[in-house]
Homo-oligomer: A and B are copies of this chain.
């Protein structure tokens, strides 16, 4: 039997910190699956080495970019063209089934039951819920699908947001209306906008949350953490108490499980900026 894996993507050092916390958080709750990280050649050597310790496989992939400044400006996220690189995950045919996770996710509870789902399973996007959020999806690696995606991606207006989410939603366009089992519960990919839009639901379902996804411009590694008093500093405007608590959980894993590895390699350098 082919095995199964969690897969993430890292094209630069900031997101590498995210991937390390993600890997540690998955190990902490326990998994029987492999952890795979796809990296691009722009990653520094030292972080690549640490990824090799924390993941079962580190795979070098080509960078793709949508170069679609027009649509990306609607998102106010010019940097997200590079997320087209994500579709390399369909090349991992050594696995029969995978779960892709953005590297800005942290896992709070076991998620191995995701492998009972079929391609393409994902969580509705809090924002336009007929689309899925592409920060987490269950898929079957297949060079055939990869080729179709590449062909699709090269067409004009392939992605309505200039990033991978617009692309994958156009490609898997029946997701919204065809099969409820492909709709994963929102607790598998809780994004920050839920906290602004519907706080009572966050509170109601808080103990069921499996994955927090720090989607949006503020990433946990943009902040600074003081381990002495467990205080965060940086641009925390508009973050409510639950969000601060979740950012702290990310930083606790960072400090306790990732930082010791980093400091062995980079004595004296600071993290979190």
- Contacts from A to B (Cβ < 8 Å): 71, 74-75, 123-131, 160-162, 166, 176-180, 183, 185-187, 193-194, 196-205
Contact = CB atoms under 8 A, between A and B. Distances in A.
A172 B58 CA distance: 45
Contact of A129 (B124, B179, B199, B200): B124
Contact of A200 (B71, B185, B193, B205): B71
A177 B176 contact: no
A194 B193 CA distance: 10
A197 B200 contact: no
Contacts of A197: 125-128, 193, 197
Contacts of A125: 129, 197-198, 201
Given A74-B203, A176-B185, A180-B180, 13 more contacts: A75-B200, A123-B129, A125-B129, A126-B129, A130-B186, A130-B201, A160-B203, A160-B204, A161-B198, A161-B200, A176-B183, A177-B185, A193-B196
Q: Which of A74, A127, A131, A187 has the most CB of B within 10 A?
A: A127
Contacts of A185: 130, 176-177
A258 to B, nearest CB: 30
Number of this chain's copies in the complex: 2
Looking at chain A's contact residues, the main secondary structure is helix
Nearest to A160: B204
A53 to B, nearest CB: 37
A71 B202 CA distance: 12
Nearest to A216: B197
B161 A201 contact: yes
A186 B75 CA distance: 20
13 contacts: A71-B200, A75-B199, A126-B126, A127-B198, A128-B205, A129-B129, A130-B185, A131-B198, A160-B201, A160-B203, A166-B200, A166-B201, A196-B196
Contact of A193 (B123, B127, B131): B127
A162 B203 CA distance: 13
A178 B194 CA distance: 22
Q: Which of A129, A180, A197 has the most CB of B within 10 A?
A: A129
Given A127-B194, A131-B198, A183 B180 contact: yes
Contact of A128 (B130, B178, B186): B186
